[in-house]
Amino acid sequence: MSTFKELGLSTNLLNVIEEMGFTTPTPIQEKSIPFLLKDKNEKSDFIGLAQTGTGKTAAFGLPLIDLVDSENKATQALIMAPTRELGQQTAKQLVEFSAKYKQLNVEVVYGGAAITNQINALKRPTQIVVATPGRLLDLIRRKAIRLDDVKYVVLDEADEMLNMGFKEDIDEILSYTREDRSTWLFSATMPADIRRIIKKYMTNPMEVAVNTESKTNIDITHQYIVTRNDDKVIALRRFLDIAPDMKGIMFCRTKRETQEITDNLGQLGYEVEALHGDLSQAQRDAAMRRFKARNMQLLIATDVAARGIDVNDLTHVLHHKIPDQLEAYTHRSGRTGRAGNKGISIAFINNREGRKIADIERKNNITFEKIEVPKASELKKVRLENWVKSTLAMPIDEEAEENLAALLPHFEALSKEDLLKRMISLELKQLKGTDKGDLNVSSDSRSRDDDRGDRRDRGDRGDRPERREREGNRYFINLGKNDGLSKVDLLEFVSEVSGAKKSQINDIAVQDKRSFFNLDDSQVKGFEDKFEGLELESGHAIRVNKETGSSDGGSRGARSSFGGGGGSGRRPKGAGGGRRSSGGGERSGRSGGGFSGKRGSSSSSSGARGRRR
């Protein structure tokens, strides 16, 4: 095994690498870097085949930093990436690598952000540009960037760029670069379309294939369960319950499927978040910040949206459906079991997909274990263990000390064992419903109602709506404590917007990102329609849905000029109006201030003003 010093990197880069704590190059770095550095004056095309998470960014990033002339203000290197997340991640690493090159500038450009800011950034001397193809073409056509002096073009995750339909964009972008450029292509797979790009744009490329498959998967346990599609969310809930410390990603095929599952679990109080192409950049960034901070159990994502996510401590990867391309299974599952950690990959399949499991086993040289959905008795045991841990970890409050003397006489006749038995009985009472029958989701004859008791009584999840009997008409609104919302605020706002009396709105539950309430039968007709055209000042569209209704993502959009949502708790600047929200998948932001709302042109209790368009 070589050292970084033996690869031919400059002293400055070696110092940076050492300060960052890297000691030994990965196989793809060891094989790529010497070739890419060998002659800066000659065209040298290169193909690097390696799985995600093997150090490909450093494999091309470190040589680029040494090869470009930091004193030359022109753009000399271009890196194309399929998604903004991957582009941002790549640019961040390049900036870290180039810490000792004060004149070298790296800029990243991508869709979903203000193009004027990116145009202004590119007016500065910029030697390396990281870009998504669509935004780069837009900048080229606006003459905001010139590629005449680009000597090095990197196609990162080339297979994914083609899967996303960027073939024509790549062709056009490369037509703006010089013919004697060096083209470096990095990919996890080598489909026919990649071979066509190689034949068209590369000359006698050096090809390096690093088989990290066994190393990537060696710490991953592969499992599958057989269930009907309609029962997958019920089964998923059981896995979330039995693994409260889970930090995982569930992959779905479509944006709609991703949002539906997220809404379903979110309404039941689970800490989950969606990641798909219909979300704004700000929403995607917020979701990733929460996920990396371990503020949620599960990120539910499409394959495309999850590209570029680099999180080393994932405990689980879940597959709502087995991907059509078997290579994609390796990409997905390879996101767990990294950096010496153990990981679990669980596939949810139906009775007809056993052949796909066998194909993956044969092709990837792995073995799957068939598992069953956790039993109710297992859930009860886990919840009791969590209750014990939380009780032992609970700090003793001063008020507890003060009240002990007054309460102690009530317990003097009880032994410690008797007292513990009563406490355990109380907790078991909270957990009733988990023992009303086990899920048998492997059987197509199972009733969907088997889990009804468990849905109502989830004693470990605090003041959440699933613990209540679903009487009356239960509604969901995608606003919560993070928007500065309290129960009083919600009551005021719903009453003011809908015209319902406060006495007709009850059983309010306010969570971090969502809230629930019951509505009198007399107010149901047209209720949701009254919230159309309302949104927070930050652009956060409000959704109000009947909880038992369809979660098809066609949420009720909303526009209103009331504060919250933007992190400052500011009051609105003035009257509302403007475009209608697109609805669907809007997520709440964080707020440090109070919540205020308005309907029509009269003032609310908080003094906010606004109007509908």
- Note every long-range contact of 381-385, with CB atoms under 8 Å and residues 24 or more positions apart, other chains counting: 382/241, 382/242, 382/244, 383/241, 383/427, 383/431, 383/434, 383/459, 383/460, 384/424, 384/427, 384/428, 384/431
Q: What is the DSSP letter of 535?
A: B
Q: What CATH code is carried by the domain that includes residue 345?
A: 3.40.50.300
Q: Is residue 461 part of a domain?
A: no
Q: 87 near 107, Cβ under 8 Å?
A: no
**Which H/E stretch holds residue 28?**
helix 27-37
pLDDT in the model for residue 206: 92
**Which H/E stretch holds residue 473?**
strand 473-477
Q: Same domain, yes or no, for 354 and 432?
A: no
Task: Give the range with max mean pLDDT: 414-418, 432-436, 589-593.
Answer: 414-418
Q: Is residue 462 part of a domain?
A: no
77-80 β-sheet, strand order: 106-109, 128-131, 77-80, 152-155, 182-187, 46-49, 206-209
What residue numbers bound the domain in which 152 lies? 5-211
pLDDT band at 581 (very low <50, low <70, confident <90, very high): very low
Last residue of a domain, one of 342, 374, 406: 374
For residue 23, the one-letter residue type is T
pLDDT in the model for residue 369: 94
Q: Same domain, yes or no, for 496 and 606?
A: yes
Q: Kindly provide the residue ranges of all beta strands, DSSP E only, lying in 110-255, ordered along the sequence.
A: 128-131, 152-155, 182-187, 206-209, 220-226, 248-252
What is the arithmetic mean of pLDDT over 2-23?
88
Mean pLDDT estimate for the chain? 78
What is the arithmetic mean of pLDDT over 370-393?
83
| Number of domains, the chain | 4
From CA 535, how far away is CA 555, in angstroms rounded? 12
Q: Same domain, yes or no, for 240 and 337?
A: yes
Q: Same domain, yes or no, for 388 and 526?
A: no
Question: Which position has the higher pLDDT, 39 or 204?
Answer: 204
pLDDT in the model for residue 217: 60
pLDDT in the model for residue 578: 30
Q: Same domain, yes or no, for 368 and 381?
A: no
Please check the confidence at residue 198 and state whether its pLDDT lies above 60.
Answer: yes
pLDDT in the model for residue 118: 96
pLDDT band at 92 (very low <50, low <70, confident <90, very high): very high
Q: Is residue 169 part of a domain?
A: yes
pLDDT band at 530 (very low <50, low <70, confident <90, very high): confident
Q: Same domain, yes or no, for 40 and 92?
A: yes
- Tell me whether strands 473-477 and 316-319 are parallel, antiparallel or unpaired: unpaired
pLDDT band at 155 (very low <50, low <70, confident <90, very high): very high
From CA 467, how far away is CA 234, in angstroms rounded? 16
What is the arithmetic mean of pLDDT over 214-231?
80
Q: Is residue 164 part of a domain?
A: yes
Residue 113 burial class via C-beta count within 10 angstroms: exposed 0-12, middle 13-18, buried 19 and up: middle
Q: Is residue 463 part of a domain?
A: no
Helix and strand numbers, DSSP H then E, in the chain: 21, 18
Closest by CA position to 129, among listed 171, 172, 87, 67: 87
pLDDT band at 547 (very low <50, low <70, confident <90, very high): low
φ, ψ dihedrals at 581, nearest 5°: -65, 150
Question: Which position has the higher pLDDT, 466 or 398?
Answer: 398
Q: Same domain, yes or no, for 474 and 407?
A: no
What is the arithmetic mean of pLDDT over 467-492?
73
Question: Which position has the higher pLDDT, 243 or 41?
Answer: 243
Q: What CATH code is carried by the domain that includes residue 581?
A: 3.30.70.330
Please check the confidence at residue 213 and state whether its pLDDT lies above 50.
Answer: no
pLDDT > 90: percent of the chain? 28
Q: Is residue 448 part of a domain?
A: yes
* Crossing angle of helices 192-201 and 167-175, rounded to 10°: 10
For residue 561, the one-letter residue type is S
For residue 58, give both structure tokens: 């450093």
Last residue of a domain, one of 143, 176, 211: 211
Query: Please, how many CA atoms are within 13 Å of residue 183, restricted to the half-sphere of its CB?
Result: 22
Question: Which position has the higher pLDDT, 540 or 74?
Answer: 74
**CB neighbour burial string for 275-295, b if at least 16 within 10 angstroms, e if fewer:** bbebbbeebbbbbbebbeeee
pLDDT in the model for residue 571: 27
Q: Same domain, yes or no, for 194 and 228?
A: no
Residue 396: count other Cβ atoms within 10 Å of its Cβ: 8
Q: Same domain, yes or no, for 409 and 548?
A: no
pLDDT in the model for residue 568: 32
pLDDT tens track for 289-324: 888 887 788 999 988 777 656 677 889 999 999 887
Q: How far is CA 322 from CA 60, 271, 274, in A?
A: 32, 24, 19
Q: Same domain, yes or no, for 166 and 119?
A: yes
DSSP string covering 249-294, please?
Answer: EEEESSHHHHHHHHHHHHHTT--EEEE-TTS-HHHHHHHHHHHHTT
What is the arithmetic mean of pLDDT over 437-451?
40
Q: How far is CA 126 from CA 2, 6, 165, in A?
A: 32, 29, 28
pLDDT band at 106 (very low <50, low <70, confident <90, very high): very high
From CA 238, how far away is CA 233, in angstroms rounded? 9
For residue 77, the one-letter residue type is A
Residue 609: count other Cβ atoms within 10 Å of its Cβ: 19
Q: Same domain, yes or no, for 46 and 183?
A: yes
Last residue of a domain, one of 374, 405, 425: 374
pLDDT > 70: percent of the chain? 78
Q: Same domain, yes or no, for 282 and 408?
A: no
Name residues whose C-beta falls within 8 Å of residue 539's C-beta, 6 or more positions apart in sequence.
Answer: 280, 581
pLDDT tens track for 483-495: 778 888 888 889 8
